[in-house]
Amino acid sequence: MAPEEETAAEEARVERAVQKDGVAISVRNLKNSFGDQVVHEGLNLDVRKGEILGVVGGSGTGKSVLMRSIIGLQTPDEGEVHVFGESMIGRLDDEALAIRKRWGVLFQGGALFSTLTVAENVEVPIREYYPNIGPQLRDEIAAYKIRMTGLPAEAGPKYPAELSGGMKKRAGLARALALDPDLLFLDEPTAGLDPIGAAAFDEQTRRLQQTLGLTVFLITHDLDTLYSICDRVAVLADRQVTAVGTIDELLATDHPWIQEYFNGPRGRGAGRYGGGGAGTRQVRFSAAIGASATGQKAIRYGNPLQPCAGGYGHAAAAGGDHAGRLLVLAPVRWGEYGI
């Protein structure tokens, strides 16, 4: 590319970044189909930086396919996907790779590699994207991520088949967090968890989002999760995002599915504590945490991540143990390693 073309391309990139400031993910006019079955058509969605966006819709409406389209596992028939201002569809170049490094994904069902231990699973993205990180640092990072999700350290050498469903979810979350992502994709993270486990998982997601400034794309059927931690909710129906907004804003629409979903018996049950705002299950979580070993761990290991004016460095100073420093200083340390 000639220097002037390079400059023009760079200017265009900066311009896009400025335009997209405040938007982490932008999906425009998306179409996905499998044979005759059209799953999405003309689908548009913006995910704002720093928010937890809940994505809901009936089973089979295309929530997982939408996530796969955004992360590049599904090539859409039509449309545009931008992540942090970069067009992502069909891109394999370094800039797109740099964006991919900034996200972590928890797939529906966990998708752990069954022949790898939990620790080895967590190390997969580190090996893939940072091959020059040595085994010792890789092990340290994996061990910290495992503890950070509330799993005991002893879970590291276990294989997925030896874990309960909830432990598998946490192991999947640990892997999703391996690269200290800016953007987290969670597909049904609380499905199959008991209410205390689900509440702890929600609490942890909220804590990560608040302390690390994460943007979270959270597919869920869990009404408690929607009420407790989601800033906004996007509703998939009729092949599109038919509505997006706070739960109160959604309730003000007359879309039959939305009314049925939030005003049905389960929706009313989930909303009755918080009246449509945040904090429903968190209330119950706080009450339950004294009895929950995993919850206590989540809080203990969450301490180094308390938000503070100085950002990561101060958080690390406030943190204490070696594992805490490893997490919060990971970007710095990776810089030191010339990565």
Ligand X SMILES: Nc1ncnc2c1ncn2[C@@H]1O[C@H](COP(=O)(O)OP(=O)(O)OP(=O)(O)O)[C@@H](O)[C@H]1O
Which positions lie near ligand X, rule CB under 6 A?
34, 39, 57, 59-65, 108
Nearer to ligand X, 65 or 329 (CB): 65
Could you tell me the smallest distance in angstroms from the CB atom of residue 69 to ligand X? 9
Name the one range near Mg ion by CB under 5 A: 29-37, 105-113, 259-267, 282-290: 105-113
Could you tell me the smallest distance in angstroms from the CB atom of residue 56 to ligand X? 9
Q: Which residue is nearest to Mg ion (CB)?
A: 64
Nearer to Mg ion, 168 or 325 (CB): 168
- Tally the residues of the chain: 339
Nearer to ligand X, 108 or 240 (CB): 108
Strands 78-83 and 23-34: antiparallel
Instruction: Write out the binding residues for Mg ion, residues 107-126 only, by CB under 5 A.
Output: 108
Q: Are 253 and 243 in contact (CB under 8 A)?
A: yes
Could you tell me the smallest distance in angstroms from the CB atom of residue 169 to ligand X? 15
204 near Mg ion (CB under 5 A):
no
Nearer to ligand X, 79 or 304 (CB): 79
Could you tell me the smallest distance in angstroms from the CB atom of residue 174 to ligand X? 22
List residues bridging with 27 in a β-sheet. 45, 81
Nearer to ligand X, 87 or 108 (CB): 108
Nearer to Mg ion, 185 or 334 (CB): 185
Q: Residue 57's binding partner, choosing from ligand X, Mg ion, none, with beta-carbon cut-off 5 to 8 A by kind?
A: ligand X
Helix, strand and coil content of the chain, in percent to the nearest 5, comes to: 50, 20, 30
Q: Residue 169's binding partner, choosing from Mg ion, ligand X, none, with beta-carbon cut-off 5 to 8 A by kind?
A: none
Q: Are 70 and 88 in contact (CB under 8 A)?
A: yes
Helix 135-148 and helix 293-302: axis angle, to 10°?
Answer: 120
Q: Which of 197, 179, 176, 33 is nearest to 97 (CA)?
A: 179
Tokens of residue 188, six digits: 């049904």
- Residue 275, Cβ neighbours under 10 Å: how many? 11
Name the one range near Mg ion by CB under 5 A: 15-23, 81-89, 106-114, 138-146: 106-114
Q: Are 197 and 151 in contact (CB under 8 A)?
A: no
Angle at 305 between CA 310 and CA 324, to 5 degrees: 105
Could you tell me the smallest distance in angstroms from the CB atom of residue 237 to ligand X? 10
Q: Residue 280's binding partner, choosing from ligand X, Mg ion, none, with beta-carbon cut-off 5 to 8 A by kind?
A: none
Separate counts of helices (H) and strands (E) for the chain: 16, 10
Instruction: Write out the binding residues for Mg ion, residues 45-104 only, by CB under 5 A.
Output: 64
Cβ neighbours of residue 78 closer than 8 Å, sequence gap 6 or more: 29, 30, 31
Give the C-alpha separation, 339 to 332, whole Å: 10
Could you tell me the smallest distance in angstroms from the CB atom of residue 67 to ligand X? 8
Sheet with 103-106: list strands edge to edge.
103-106, 183-187, 215-219, 52-57, 232-237, 240-245
Could you tell me the smallest distance in angstroms from the CB atom of residue 155 to ligand X? 26
Nearer to Mg ion, 51 or 187 (CB): 187
Binding positions for Mg ion, rule: CB under 5 A: 64, 108
